[in-house]
Structure 1
């Protein structure tokens, strides 16, 4: 599910503060990056058996590259997904995300966005 209107998708941020701030807010940049993109995930546990939710923030490089640590990233619209073990994560609207989960995801993104906007490059 796309989490529209968070304001984070308007930000352009250098890699070092982006990594630091998102990590501080619980978003982990895993191995799913290449020289032009980054992905940060926030894991939310669930009482449902074998179900985990993820908030995903992605960015694409507009200058530099990830490997060298000098990337400047345009952030994208965050996603809310549901992981089905062992099949993977689904991000569709039909996943039936509860309003509480959606509000929690938006709140977590807003907290990160508030700090990140201080590092926004125009």
Structure 2
């Protein structure tokens, strides 16, 4: 079995594809959503349903962005906890939201 670092290097880590809730309500809710979408498909014209699907696609994209942001925050929080534990430095958790995704040193090298 490959280490986490080897898996990361080879591009084999896909947390967004691995995380599936074990909450029993999830399956029930997914089925309900599917059934309701089918009801709307029957009620709406083909053009209206296409518009609804486009809206749902946009929602899916924004939801994916929210999940990615939550993952990054959780990872930073966990790493911050480890740094605080190992170094004794406190106050890292309060600074997590102010961390840019792109370091300032990299921003200055970018072309306008």
| TM-score (structure 1 length as normaliser) | 0.25
- Structure with the larger strand share: 1
- Structure with the larger helix share: 2
Q: Greater Rg, structure 1 or structure 2?
A: 2
| Greater RCO (CA < 8 Å, at least 6 residues apart) | 1
